[in-house]
Amino acid sequence: MARMTRSATAREAALLAAQLQPGKARPSKASDAERLQKPAGRGTPAVSASLNNSLPSHPASKKRKTTARAADPNEVHGLPHNLGPAVTLSPQNEIRVPIKREEIEELANSLQDTVDKACNTPPGLPEKGTKSKKTNQYSLTPGTTPFPDWTRPTPEECEEVNRLLATVHGEIVAPTTIPEPSLTVTGCGEVPSVLDALIRTLLSGATTGNNSAMAFNGLVQKFGIVEEGIGKGSVNWEAVRQAPLKDVFEAIKRGGLADVKSKKIKAILDMVYQENQERRDMLVKGSPGAPPELLQKPDNGKQYEIACADQNFLSLNHLHSLATEDAMGELVKYPGIGPKTAACVLLFCLQRPCFAVDTHIFRICKWLNWVPPDKATEITAFSHLEVRIPNHLKYSLHQLFIRHGKSCPRCRAITGQSSAGWEKGCVIDHLVKRTGKRKGASPGYPQDARRPNSRKRRP
């Protein structure tokens, strides 16, 4: 039986209401009795005769013919989706019993409500043609590791690796202070801007540091910076938001993946603008439904947010006042922002202990056996290492792993005995078991870790 849509049902209810008004003629080409004798065709809902007569008529198919049958006076015509019996009218051209307008409206509303309930997806089930959406799209559970039985790394192992890498790359110390946002200075330079940091990190994805720097500089050159007032020194993100997409694309195209990243940037800025205006309205009106962190802000913090919104200066600096878990949840809701990008903003801009995992860190941590090599992904590795690595080592280990992963001849991606500088060794060589694509074999390496087409060296 064909599915009756909400719009079709509502239209039929409206037509029914119009026909039942007293004194209003009903269009008719045949008697109601004759129409009631016509059975519903296959795939057509068995609605009442008057409803069918009110809809536009279509010529009968030449390929299929139906045989008329006598109407059964006891037969009840039902609506689709088990909505109950259809409204059956008297087989006369005029209605014998007048119906009040209030009853008609009540009937129409009741019918629409019934269709709505029938068409709505039951709780817990995805709608047809759509994928089920999780509340947390990355399945992050702060404070809980996805590998509870994997006890590595231990705090002692983290301290040892940090010490060894520091002997090669220098000791890394995290900054201890960060200036608070003010009403006169923010953005690049003296006062870190969360939005600047977010866009910078987005531009750095899947490209080199030099390319991402050129992309960010392209935005500065194209749209300028805020010269005075609130946000002085920051990129003019409002100009970027209002600019055509092609202008944003042209500004960042030297950094790579400009087609995707330009769309993400525009979408993020639109969301930030809307949120800034909503927060401003809550502060001005003192809305009781506002987030607690917003209403509990000091007066200068409230004035700062209101002034930013009034001057259309896009800002995410309110994330400074959120707990780390809440700030992470706020960041990953933006288009193109995953756990790695959000963790980098938390670590470097918000100065929270957060172990962001990029491709170099993921590779080395698998070799160190700090995560299950065959089960972990970059996202699950982040969740696991965020729990296992002590907070005071997250900043330094993040930096040291990246430096080591880029520079060590034995720990770079797709390296091996034939790599230049291999003979220099590696300070953590005794702790790692390297897997993956290799340029050559090495003692202790699994044979299947070589490239399939690699040739054996002659003695």
Is the residue at 214 inside a domain?
Answer: yes
Residue 166 and residue 295 in one domain: no
Q: If residue 161 lies in a helix (H) or strand (E), which one and from where to where? A: helix 155-169
Q: Which residues contact 233 (CB under 8 A, 6 or more apart)?
A: 185, 186, 187, 188, 189, 190, 191, 225, 226
The one-digit pLDDT tens for each residue of the chain (459 residues) are 455 555 555 566 555 555 555 444 444 444 444 444 444 444 444 444 443 444 444 444 444 444 444 444 444 333 332 323 333 344 444 444 455 555 555 655 655 555 454 444 444 333 433 333 334 566 667 778 999 999 999 999 999 999 999 999 999 988 777 655 444 443 333 346 889 889 988 998 888 878 888 898 899 999 998 888 777 778 899 999 999 999 999 999 988 899 999 999 999 999 999 999 999 999 998 877 788 888 888 888 888 899 999 999 999 989 988 999 999 999 999 999 999 999 999 998 888 999 999 999 999 999 999 999 999 999 999 999 999 999 999 999 999 999 999 999 999 888 778 878 888 899 999 999 988 766 555 444 443 333 333 334 443
Residue 246 and residue 214 in one domain: yes
Handedness of CA 149, 155, 160, 162 (dihedral sign): positive
CATH number for the domain that contains residue 402: 1.10.1670.10
Is the residue at 86 inside a domain?
Answer: no
DSSP string, 31-99: -HHHHHTSPPPTTS----HHHHHHSPP-PPPSS------PPPTT---B-GGG--BPP---SSSS-SS--
Residues forming beta bridges with residue 262, ordered by sequence position: none
Is the residue at 330 inside a domain?
Answer: yes
Is the residue at 2 inside a domain?
Answer: no
Residue 167 and residue 282 in one domain: no
pLDDT at 277: 95
- Encoded tokens for 370: 């700090």
- Encoded tokens for 126: 């995805």
User: What span, in angstroms and rounded, lies between the C-alpha atoms of 202 and 62?
Assistant: 61
Residue 383 and residue 286 in one domain: no
Residue 227 and residue 338 in one domain: yes
Query: 258-285 vs 245-252: helix axis angle to the nearest 10?
Result: 120
User: What span, in angstroms and rounded, lies between the C-alpha atoms of 193 and 200?
Assistant: 11
CATH number for the domain that contains residue 269: 1.10.340.30
Question: Which tens digits make up the pLDDT trace of 121-173?
Answer: 444 333 433 333 334 566 667 778 999 999 999 999 999 999 999 999 999 98
CA distances from 179 to 78, 136, 300, 349 (A): 71, 32, 15, 11
Query: Which amino acid, residue 361?
Result: I
* Neighbour count for residue 45 (Cβ, 10 Å): 21
Residue 199 and residue 344 in one domain: yes
Question: Which tens digits make up the pLDDT trace of 280-306?
Answer: 999 998 877 788 888 888 888 888 899
DSSP string, 339-356: HHHHHHIIIIIS------
Residue 249 and residue 374 in one domain: no
Choose among 71, 74, 22, 29: nearest CA to 50. 29
Is the residue at 112 inside a domain?
Answer: no
Structural domain span for residue 430: 140-174+351-437
User: What span, in angstroms and rounded, lies between the C-alpha atoms of 145 and 139?
Assistant: 11
Is the residue at 382 inside a domain?
Answer: yes
Is the residue at 356 inside a domain?
Answer: yes
- Number of structural domains (the chain) is 2
CA distances from 299 to 100, 102, 160, 282, 302 (A): 60, 54, 46, 14, 5
Is the residue at 58 inside a domain?
Answer: no
Residue 207 and residue 321 in one domain: yes
List the alpha helices (DSSP H) in 244-358: 245-252, 258-285, 292-295, 299-310, 324-331, 339-344
